[in-house]
A and B are shown apart, each in its own frame.
Chain A
Amino acid sequence: METIIKDYISQELVRDPELLPLADEASLLDSGILDSLSLLQLVVFLEERFAITVGDADLLPENFASVNTICAYLRAREPAKQAAHG
């Protein structure tokens, strides 16, 4: 799961090559990788790739701060899918 998400962010969302390679714990917010529109791109990807729906109330900094927190959020939501995609 970490690899899938990291690959997507690295290839599609990172605009500054100096931020690569991306660490699992690297902040996606302080570095400016996620802004209001790239966040939605990421959400659409996560919804399609992991067959989930991300509600408005879940679009919070604590869930999207890093690759690690995104994975923690996904695992907490969809424990059943963890094995399939993990």
Chain B
Amino acid sequence: MAYLLHRLLTDAAARQPRRPAIAASGCVLTYQELDQLSNKVARALLRLGVSPGDRVGVLAPKSAASVIGIYGALKAGACYVPLDPKAPDQRLSYVAADSGMTVIIADEARAPHAAALASRVRQARGVLVAGVPGSQDGAQAGPSTDQGAAVLPWSAVAAESAAPLPDHAIETDLAYILYTSGSTGMPKGVMISHRNSLSFVEWSAAAAGLSDRDRVCSPAPLHFDLSVFDLFASCQAAACLCVLPEGAATFPVSIARWLETERISVWYSVPSVLTLLACYGGLQQFDLAHVRTVIFAGEVFPPRYLAKLMTGLPHPRYLNWYGPTETNVCTAFEVPPGSAGAGPVPIGKACANTEVFGITGEGRQVSLPGEIGELYVRGPSLMRGYWGQPAKTREVLVASPFRAEYEEPVYRTGDLVTLDQAGNYLYLGRRDTMVKIRGYRVELGEVEAALYRHPAIREAAVVPVPDELLGNRLRAVVTADEPGSLGRQSVLDHCRQWLPSYMVPDLVEIRQALPRTSTGKVDRAGLASE
């Protein structure tokens, strides 16, 4: 059995060399091609001086080039750190510097941006351009300049040997770091080892019943942990990872048409994309008979939209997976046909090789329907911690309350749950100020911290406004240092420099003062109920 993620690829290439591994924008690579091209990337990374344990950035959307780059980074013994190409520069610079990237892998189009980013990171040795056979070299090769770091063009990478490499990692080494919203103002890096990830990958491939006949799609970008499924579980089964073209993702009808023409069999996304498909996808116009499994995760699926989807597309299995990035997926629930719409969809029961339990405010284990507690998780899929933040790690990876004999970390999710009559967990809400927007985690504190960086803002409070389609919208209420010195547009422009678009407040109100509670704190509950 594989104990390193990239072994899934070498194993699949040995078993099924000619089956398609990835289909993206008209480019199809077989498992043998993907294996060999990623060997070239690994060699080029080692030649650039990448050592085992190094962090290697990936600045590209999900594509054949970025998947080659990711496997190349893993084969070199490095851990990859996805950089959201749509995030503002300030945030990307922070992630690149915080993780101490030594190389950034970019596609051709983003090589100049990656070079500019790398030039601002002390440890960075340069940029590696990932491509596919036949890619044209447009990037300027050459030594570093004032404008950017050294760029290794794809032609140089492609000239490396395609022969297999020895292993440069063991299973407890990091495979990737996914940055997620941080309550203190900057994103935090969730460290996932090969073992952590494989624990999820092996379970998920079995739970979805993946085979080498499957064509798997998740529209989640690389920095979102849903992408682990299509990147690696597909590989475990030698299935084909199919990349939804960016243009098609905008239009529900285009998604439905693409599902038909690409004969997608397994789909994994946040519920909001499925809601759009159910409401605006014109599903009845298309032949989607080959879609056999639909998986959703990341946020609550409004029951009436799930019911609409299951009516419009009745034949697939519907699976609800739950788990913070820190645990991969830890519970799962298969929605029985005809049951949707009756009430909230349970998050279900623990995955194989994982234990979950609820702890009430009094410290007792949740054991009866209706009892409410915080959900804890233990198992091999738990993250190694937050990158460079041992104190923050200790707040959430805590000693098991039920195991005094030896130490084993359990993860406190911060999610409040209860049990239903069938023993399934039901998600109730958060015990802190994290909210979900389009499946993305947003710490209200991070949005407020960004607002406080605005030179004219004196005080800021951000409250969520529940929204059926998005999960939440954000409403920012701010006061100015000097009356009249602050405009709504200026606040929005400022936010867009610091925050990815899903974290930018939808509504901005400028007031004379923020409402206060009797103890003098900002009255968030009052603001939220206005």
Kindly state whether residue A57 has any CB partner on chain B within 8 Å. yes
CA distance A15 to B503 in the complex (A): 11
Query: Does A60 lie within 8 Å of B254, measured CB to CB?
Result: yes
Query: Does A59 lie within 8 Å of B272, measured CB to CB?
Result: no
CA distance A64 to B501 in the complex (A): 21
> Residue-by-residue, is A16-32 near B (CB-CB < 8 Å gives 1, otherwise 0)?
11000000000001001
Chain B positions within 8 Å of A, measured between CB atoms, are: 86, 247, 249-254, 272-273, 276, 280-282, 285, 438, 469-470, 493, 496, 501, 504
Q: Choose one: A16, A35, A56; the contact of B281 (CB below 8 Å).
A: A56
Which residue among B247, B250, B254, B276 has the maximum number of chain A CB atoms within 10 Å of its CB?
B250
Query: Does B504 lie within 8 Å of A61, measured CB to CB?
Result: no
Kindly state whether residue A84 has any CB partner on chain B within 8 Å. no
Extra inter-chain contacts (7) besides given A35-B250, A59-B253, A60-B251, CB under 8 Å: A29-B250, A34-B250, A35-B249, A36-B249, A36-B251, A40-B280, A59-B252
Closest 4 CB pairs of A and B: A56-B282, A15-B501, A56-B280, A17-B493
Q: Choose one: B86, B276, B493, B504; the contact of A36 (CB below 8 Å).
A: B276
Complex interface: chain A residues within 8 A of B250 (CB): 29, 34-36, 39, 61, 64
CA distance A59 to B438 in the complex (A): 20
Complex interface: chain A residues within 8 A of B282 (CB): 56-57
Query: Does A61 lie within 8 Å of B247, measured CB to CB?
Result: yes
B503, chain A: closest CB distance, angstroms: 11
Kindly state whether residue A37 has any CB partner on chain B within 8 Å. yes
Interface majority SS on B: helix, strand, loop or mixed? helix
Query: Does B252 lie within 8 Å of A36, measured CB to CB?
Result: yes
Complex interface: chain B residues within 8 A of A16 (CB): 496
CA distance A85 to B280 in the complex (A): 27
Q: Choose one: A15, A17, A59; the contact of B251 (CB below 8 Å).
A: A59
Query: Does B247 lie within 8 Å of A29, measured CB to CB?
Result: yes
Query: Does B247 lie within 8 Å of A57, measured CB to CB?
Result: no
* 11 A-B pairs (CB sep. < 8 Å): A15-B504, A17-B493, A37-B272, A37-B438, A37-B469, A37-B470, A40-B276, A40-B469, A56-B252, A61-B251, A64-B250
B249, chain A: closest CB distance, angstroms: 6
Query: Does B470 lie within 8 Å of A59, measured CB to CB?
Result: no
Which residue among A15, A57, A60 has the maximum number of chain B CB atoms within 10 Å of its CB?
A15
B438, chain A: closest CB distance, angstroms: 7
Closest to A28 in B: B250
Closest to A14 in B: B496
